[in-house]
Structure 1
């Protein structure tokens, strides 16, 4: 039965917190539900049988669903740990608050007055614990957790009646579990490799089959751990007072999932076990499923709502359970936003919008193949073999797409193409849908505004003390940059005159994004080569590097000296790292020869930072 108003205890709690932000709420603790989050690392929904016929059996999670709710369409907004977890803990879209880069160079500060959401629970009298991964890209206040450690547990709360919020992360499904050697492949898996389903974009080899079978085994280990934690709650006599969320912290973990804004990187399993003592807060029958879309920005607001704690105005999410939530409205939600930026040392800029079964992807740097080197990814034998097969010319069909330039925009019908391999963007039958989704995504990025269009190098120097204020003060410029890079979506004859203007702009970042558009359009704008060659002398080093990027591929202009000079002018690590991304791309995909011994930096190189990863690769040290 739908509850259209807050229960008395929740109203009392909200009023108590509003009256005195420093006071513990006076509502009877026993009348407030506990909440536990169980996160498994790096797994998308389709690796569980509960969400698809090709997944692994998970009887403990399936039993949770029998006593709860299954969310068929739950999404991480980002396909990688630190960005996804920061989105969860802040309930804010990462590109709006400056937390979109993995791994962060500099921690961002949250907007004034906004806290990570467990702080509001703690303020309201909850005992908050995290065991134990944080991995946030924003500064964490001292008021978020009572305990965040490997020993953190609800068992340590001050009284048995104290309500609690506990987060438990299990690493047994992390991608590092698939970094096995060829010798280790002789160890049999519980899952028969011949029985597994391979996605259309994978080559069908024993390595890929073994990798997927091994991952199925890992999912079943996670299932056992989930069951064990439920048993702990049951033994402590609190299971029927506790909402238990099970979900993946983002997608993964076979190639083309973690780190990529496809459904394999964003669509996560979500099952919520509903406690008997608070069944009325679910508003749904036990064992039910919903097709309504929920995303990570919604998770924190949902916990606050279940606890009767007022939601901060500054967050982006909406609750999907608890007082005042209409299940029919949740069922009607059909939209989710995705974002992928720098992933370790590998830069890309991808934004996605899914509405129902249609997925729109805007690749702002489409000339970079998905396969662009990322050192940690290529520890996997499956990644290594995939690359070797491509180099040997042995890939056909969808398996080759990973190594080719991407389309600037893609449209997929997920009902018939769940692997996202048949791009409908050029299909006249879908022209209206493409235009509508393109415009809708643009509106969201501009209104946010999306700080990635200022570049990470600028953000580190100028924005991270107060990212939202900085973004709002530059909202017009960001919109202009998006319009400029979107010239790549026009027919070349229509884009050319506007690109000429943008390349001569007094704003260096207008010139920067115009060059990105030129690289996206390729040879069709070669008439601009003389103008682009002039930008090799630009005052902004990143503009020079973008000019090098275009000219090295689409002209015979000698650019090597300008490349070395730009590196020597970089003033922070993200600026230099952005340049090395271009160098790796040109070397690996266009035969561009560089001498790493000639690299000079005026900045200190962090021996544990991302710049070192690129340097190790370019020097042939890995």
Structure 2
């Protein structure tokens, strides 16, 4: 017996079949719709060249090297003349880029980290959001992050990673490629290399005024122009690959430097040469409507590395997460006039390998403010990797021989507590206007703006790397919010160095006598900024030479060296032997090198007196300092 009730009713049977067919179609559409949506999104390729600022490319500076492939990107895209990496060194800049967060707010500001920082609660590195939305995300291959990466950031991250390996031709991709051709190490050549010819004529390069005009400097710059031309060839090959695959007009292609550099006084420093990067975005024909700009145009609007991630998410129409510091500068709904009006950028410098010097900068329009929190450290303080470059070595030799003019010599003498530069008239930042009465009002305004930003984050560097290492790296942002008020007090103590000594003295004494070691620490730093003028505080400082906290002892020793004729080396040796973690040791050894190099025979450090725990002696940066002191 047939149990099908439609078997005796052809019309009912036909209706049933049609309904079933419609259901199958609906199910099929439902199943494929995510793929259709994913395929209908643009691709992204980032090409990063290492260590080069805008000055090395003709597209940004008439004295730069020709780069026809990069210039061709600009013809079909947008040039951002004021793009900034926020940090002048790889790991910190790259972490800023991948997290869309300012490094001092999230504890990722030290190069290279002594301990990985946890990502802010609820936040992922931005490629993870693309991946969740159906993108194939790849990185070839440098990461160098100072924050812990979750497993869902990249589909592949290696020297073999490629957008070509995506699972389906319709899968949209985000691919990052880093070329090392322009890396600092390309200028670590021996003196015999000076005999080799370069494509760029050394006699035709334009040296900035802070460099001595020597064969070494001219050859080094010419050689680097050659490296930039090699980078341009890489860009051309990537464009050709995308063209052959039929993907060029579906792909936003970003070319930029990972921070400034790389001749002396750039990488590692908060000058424009260290922070300002070339940025060209080629806009694919298919997605011109996502960009409210004429192709081939340029903008002076300020964009920072914190903005790159949200820009990609905006262009991909992926929701931008909360908890980041950046804002998109391209994409539907982005106002080009608003972007053009952006005129502020924040910069930060902390530890670079074994060299430590806390500096912050704020540029507003063409005015650049630099706040040196440890101004008695000269910019030229020893950093082993930097001084592998012949140009660095020769520059220091000429300083020691007294053969530099005042501008060229600035790099090797103590800095001012604050500096103000008018970049329109002084693009090389050699004429400090901070003491010019005509700029006193402007100086006060930009100083206040920087302080406002430091306290609002808050800036975790005022808690010191050692303090963060011990207490905060499992959740730096939460620790910062918990201690916001205390960090604000430390910033206020640090800013006592901006006052006349007579006005600052009572508060300096109060900080140095505080029960808080961190208030003592910052009180001593501020006091050091006054040099011999602060000698009346020596009776308050001397007892701290016997304290157990190595960082407080180290700062007290620095004070005695700068403000008095006393020999603080015995206390410094005790501070070194009392270090228990790498950040402490690096800080104290940084001070040892400062005394060793900055005070002649009076305070030479005897390497045989250095007694560090065995566990710290296998740390590369610690070893670099000890080896240098033993030369």
Matched, 1:389 2:398: yes
From 232, 242, 256, the equivalent of 2:241 is: 232
Tell me, yes or no, if the aligned pair for 1:43 and 1:253 is still in contact at 8 Å: yes
For the pair shown, which has the larger CA radius of gyration, 1 or 2?
Answer: 2
Matched, 1:521 2:553: no
Give the whole-Å Cα distance in 2 for the aligned partners of 1:199 and 1:71: 23
Deviation at 1:27, TM superposition (A): 5.5
Give the whole-Å Cα distance in 1 for the aligned partners of 2:597 and 2:605: 11
**Which residue matches 2:543?**
534
Q: CA RMSD in A?
A: 1.1
Tell me, yes or no, if the aligned pair for 1:129 and 1:147 is still in contact at 8 Å: yes
Tell me, yes or no, if the aligned pair for 2:138 and 2:157 is still in contact at 8 Å: yes
Q: Which stretch has the larger CA shift, 587-596 or 381-390?
A: 587-596
Tell me, yes or no, if the aligned pair for 2:533 and 2:563 is still in contact at 8 Å: no
Give the whole-Å Cα distance in 2 for the aligned partners of 1:288 and 1:598: 61
From 611, 615, 619, the equivalent of 2:626 is: 615
**Which residue matches 1:41?**
50
Deviation at 1:608, TM superposition (A): 4.6
Matched, 1:558 2:594: no
Give the whole-Å Cα distance in 1 for the aligned partners of 2:619 and 2:203: 41
Tell me, yes or no, if the aligned pair for 1:24 and 1:125 is still in contact at 8 Å: no
From 478, 483, 486, the equivalent of 1:469 is: 478
**Which residue matches 2:5?**
none
**Which residue matches 1:13?**
none
Render the CA deviation track for 1:443-501: whole Å, top value 9, x for unaligned. 10011000000010111111100000011111111110110011000011111111111
Deviation at 1:602, TM superposition (A): 3.1
Give the whole-Å Cα distance in 2 for the aligned partners of 1:505 and 1:603: 33
Give the whole-Å Cα distance in 2 for the aligned partners of 1:257 and 1:218: 17
**Which residue matches 2:27?**
none
Tell me, yes or no, if the aligned pair for 1:577 and 1:611 is still in contact at 8 Å: yes
From 245, 259, 264, the equivalent of 2:268 is: 259
**Which residue matches 1:374?**
383
**Which residue matches 2:611?**
600
Render the CA deviation track for 1:6-51: whole Å, top value 9, x for unaligned. xxxxxxxxxxxxxxxxx99565223200011000000001110100
- Paired residues for 1:273-292 under 5 Å: 273-292=282-301
Deviation at 1:111, TM superposition (A): 1.4
From 303, 317, 328, the equivalent of 2:326 is: 317
Q: Is the partner of 1:410 in helix, strand or coil?
A: strand
Tell me, yes or no, if the aligned pair for 2:35 and 2:171 is still in contact at 8 Å: no
From 110, 116, 136, the equivalent of 1:107 is: 116
**Which residue matches 2:223?**
214
Give the whole-Å Cα distance in 2 for the aligned partners of 1:424 and 1:571: 42
Matched, 1:333 2:342: yes
**Which residue matches 2:6?**
none
**Which residue matches 2:140?**
131
CA shift in 2, pair 1:81/1:124, >3 Å: same
Matched, 1:402 2:411: yes
Give the whole-Å Cα distance in 2 for the aligned partners of 1:488 and 1:25: 59
Render the CA deviation track for 1:554-604: whole Å, top value 9, x for unaligned. 213232221111111112011011000000000101121222112222361
Q: Is the partner of 1:303 in helix, strand or coil?
A: helix
Render the CA deviation track for 1:373-417: whole Å, top value 9, x for unaligned. 000000000000000000000001210000010111000000010
**Which residue matches 1:7?**
none
Unaligned runs of 5+ in 1: 1-22
**Which residue matches 1:154?**
163
Tell me, yes or no, if the aligned pair for 1:553 and 1:590 is still in contact at 8 Å: no
Give the whole-Å Cα distance in 2 for the aligned partners of 1:253 and 1:147: 29
Q: Is the partner of 2:186 in helix, strand or coil?
A: helix
- Paired residues for 1:28-177 under 5 Å: 28-177=37-186
Give the whole-Å Cα distance in 2 for the aligned partners of 1:200 and 1:188: 25
Deviation at 1:553, TM superposition (A): 2.7
Give the whole-Å Cα distance in 1 for the aligned partners of 2:203 and 2:414: 32
Query: Which portions of structure 1, spanning 4 or more consecutive aligned residues, are displaced by more than 4 angstroms?
Result: 23-27
**Which residue matches 1:485?**
494
From 285, 288, 295, the equivalent of 2:304 is: 295
Deviation at 1:524, TM superposition (A): 1.3
Deviation at 1:606, TM superposition (A): 5.1
**Which residue matches 2:597?**
588
Tell me, yes or no, if the aligned pair for 1:572 and 1:603 is still in contact at 8 Å: no
Tell me, yes or no, if the aligned pair for 1:44 and 1:268 is still in contact at 8 Å: yes
